[in-house]
Each structure stands twice: as C-alpha cells, then as structure tokens.
A and B are shown apart, each in its own frame.
Chain A
Amino acid sequence: MKALLINRKLTSRDNNINAYIFLAPYLILFIIFILIPIVIAIILSLTNFNTLQFPNFIGFMNCVNLITQDEIFMQYVLPNTITYALIVGPGGYILSFIIAWALAQLPKAPRTILALIFYSPSITSGVAMNVLWRILFSGDQTGYINSWLIRLGIITEPIQWLTGSNYLLPIMIIVALWSSMGVGFLAILAGILNQDETLYEAAAIDGVKNRFQEVIYITIPTMKPQMLFAAVMAIVNAFQNGMIGVQLSGSNPTPGYAGQLIVNHIEDYGFIRYEMGYASAVSVVLLIFVYVFSRVSKGLFAEKDY
C-alpha cells in the first residue's frame, strides 16, 4: 500500500500542481510590475494621454512625431544615446573581460582585493555619485580637476565641465565606464576561474602558441554562457544608468541637451510635461534598443549546438 502511494506520488509529479503554488508569489509580482507595464507602455505609445483625460487612440502618430517632429530627440537624444551605449556597453564589457582575465592569473589574496576595487564603483549609489563627481568636476577654479590641470599648466582658465555642453557626454561615459564592473564582471571572473585546466594543456599540444590565441580559442568559447550573461548585464546597466547626465549636471534637460539620454527624454515628457502617451512611445524605443543589443550578443555567444 505504501509502495503504491509513493509510486502514485512520483507519477503525479510529472505535472505537479504544487509547482504553481511555489511560483505564484513571484509570478504575480512579475506580471503586475514587469509584464503588464511593458504591455501598457506599448498600448499607451499608440495613444495621446495627458493623465487627466482617458487616453485616445492615435495609432502610430507618436512614433511618426518622434521621428519627424521631435528635433531634440533626433538631434541630441538619439545620437547621445547611441554614442553612450556603444562605448559604455561593449567598452565596459571588453574592459570587464580583460580585467577579469588578468585577475584570474593572480593568487587568491591579491585577486580578491583587486576584484573588490574594480567592483566597488558599481555599487556607489546616486548620492555618492552626486557628491563625488560633481565636486571633482566642479566648474570653478576650486574644482579638483580644474585646479590640477591649471597647476600642471594644461589649461589656464577653469573649464565648465558639467554645466557647459562640451564635456558633459565624455564625462558621463568615463563615469559610467568607471562604474561598469558589476555583476557581469564577477560572472566572467568566476567563469574563467572555473575553467578546465586540461583544455589548455590539450590546446598547447594542438599548437596554440600564445596567451592571445588561448583567449580566442579556449577561454571565450568554453565560457560562452557566462559571456552572454555578462553581456546582457552590461547592456542593461548602460541603459539603466541613463540618469547620470541629469545627476551630474543637476538639471533636466541637461545643459544644451549635451547629456540628454533616452531615459531623460522619457522622464522629461512623462513626469515634467505629463505627455504620457508620447513618453511611452519613447519607452518602447528604449525597450527595442535593449532588445536589439541583446539579440546581437546572443548571436555572438549563444550555444549553437542544440
């Protein structure tokens, strides 16, 4: 009798109803705060919605306006975002890989300390960011960077780093790169550390000559899944940090729209002008951006053998 019961229990586990109970809390919150918002963003992007009246359907007018009428978007936001994302995304990613690869060749103690140094900038929150970079790049001659450059004789007049439009985007990129060694970096490091040593031995016999070849033919191919995870994290991070232009300059819109990224454009239209339909259209563009970038990295790193 008992054996029969166990047997029944084992077969009923082919479609275990309990699994849905385990999943329910996560799924409910996932649906309410991730899935439905994406759907609403897509629907709202097709409407004119000012938060007071019921949204009315206008089809692709928002998209058309975004491309044809919105000079700020086409002239500043889009080029800024592409420049920023292309440098911070792939750039931060490649940097993460090189550093992780170098660190993997050190013994545990120095490796742990150095990994902590590289990782810690990624956990500086908005407040620390504010304090740190706005003071270092302060525009008058008492600003740290200005003062150093003047003393070194490189410049004679203090530069308006953050409140002018010339240097804001490059500074944003530097700051973003500085804080880009996050979870993805740790994943790559762990991936390299867990590689099978015998592979390298075999490769040496097969004629792999130098470290560079080792990286290209063994290190990267054997840890593609980690590389893909890190790539997705790098992309998400780059877009998620889109607020730094506003944090650094202290104003939205940023001076001369120099640091205006797509995220700021959403906030500008959504929460400052309350044109939620239009802002949603911009959000959808952002989601498409992230998706395209992720597809590209999938193409590069997905396991193709199954």
Chain B
Amino acid sequence: MGWEAVYLQQVINGLSLGAMYALLALGFTLVYGILELINFAHFNVFMVSSFIGMMALEFFGLSGQSHILTGLALAGVMAFAFVATMLVAGLLGVAIERFALRPLRGIPGTVGMITTIGISYILFNLVLLTKGAGSFNFPNPMPRVAWTIAGATLDLREVLIWGVALVLMTGLHLFVNKTRIGKAMRATAQDSEAARMMGVDVDRVIVMAFFLGSALAGAAALIFGLYYNYTSFIIGYTAGLRAFTAAVLGGIGSVTGAMVGGIIIGLIEALGGQLIAVRWTDVIIFSILVLVLVFAPTGLMGRANPTKS
C-alpha cells in the first residue's frame, strides 16, 4: 500500500465512523433544539437498539457471519431489520419522554438532565443483567464484496452505511423543513410559548423529536453491529460521547451541524490515528470539544438564539 492508498483507506474508515456519529448526533440535537435538554439516555438507547437489531436478524435464523444472503432475500431482511430496530428504538425514546421526563417538564435547572443519566444507567444495567457482560457476535448476512480503488478497499458494508445514512439524513432534513409537523418543530425550537399560542401541539412535537432521534440511534446501532459484527452492553459510552461532541462541534440544535460534525469527528478519529497514534484519539477529539466550547460556543452551524438566554 502506498501512502495515498493508506490515506484514502483512512478516509473511507473515517466516513463510515462519521456516518454513524452523525446519525447518533442528530438525536442529541433534535431533543436539545426543542427542550434545551441534553439527553444522556441517548447513549444507551443506542446500545439497547443494537441488541434489538441483533434480535431482528436472529429472528431470521441468522447468526455469526456464515449465513450469507443475496438479492431480494438480503434486501428484505435488511429492510425488516432497519424498520423493526428503528421503530422499537423510537418507541423506547417516546416511553422515556412520557414516563420519566414529561412529569419533570417545567422544573428549571438540571433535573431533567440528571434524570436522563439515571435512565441511561437503568438501560445499561438492564442489558447487563438480562444479556450478560460478554461480547456478542453480531450477525451479518451481507456477502463479502469489496472493490479496490487506487489501492484502498471499499467494502459493500461501507457503501450500505453511507447509503442508509444519506437517505435518513436527507429524509430528516426534508421532514423538518418541508412538512407541517416539521414547521411546528422549528417553531417550538424558536419559542415554545409563542408556538403554543399559535396552536402548535407542543407535546406532540416533543414526542416526535424523541421518536425521530431515538429511531436514528436505532439505525446507527444496526449499522454499528453490521460494521463491527460485535455488540456489548458497554458500547454506548464511547460512541455516545463522540456523537455528543459531534453535535456540539456542529452546533447543538442544528440538524445540518450534527451531520457535518459527525463526519468531521469520524475523519479526525481515523486520520488522527494514522498520523499520530490511536491512544491520542480521545485527547484530540475532546480537546476539540473544549476549544469549540471556549471559542465558538455555538459550533460550526449553530446560531445564538435571540429568544433564549
């Protein structure tokens, strides 16, 4: 491998990571944009979703990497797995909002945020107790198809990750900007009181934000499992923290910002590991978080909102 090929390969790796972080970052940003709440339960909604995705694939009798599907069967199984995982993850997010956060709404301060940390631990320990602490071999029915481009390897899985992420992010963008409920979401984000006065059902908007954010975490979790063929009760923390950094980097509350931030963090992780050393990756990423918070607290795409302090 020449150095060009190595860097191209690291960019491919970084884009795959970035697509995952971006999907996960969108969940932070959607909820923050509307409630100004950092939802730490999102970390482990992602983790729980990876187990749901695994069950969805095992439902078809798939296990490990030895069952390979092609053509329509593959497309059908994948579509089912994505829809099922995203639906269950979305409902989990809605349940968290309904039972743990709605009763606390209107209470000022950090109560809501602390509650989400509590929920995060409950989910974490629930999976630990029911599934055990081992590493799980995540089924992957995709054939091992790869293309060589200028010495770098592009795997079918990577193409799928980019494709799914692109479709979901475009869909979200259109949803937020073109539909009625999307307009209501934007209105609530700007000023929930005024939106309520204009007849926007704020509760419905909040439920929608939790559903969409968690469903995207579900998609990210399934992608994570298919990419690494691995899951464990512990995966939420590192991925969640990086996605959160991506959301802050892009400007928390901004949908485009979360996508851009995710891709940037993914590329930094891959290229930083190549140029410096992998053990410095976290130092680099979290230094960026600190620098953004100090010098550009609104992030790359965020705007200081005049109606909020």
Chain B associates with chain A: no
Task: List residues of A whose CB falls within 8 A of some B CB.
Answer: none
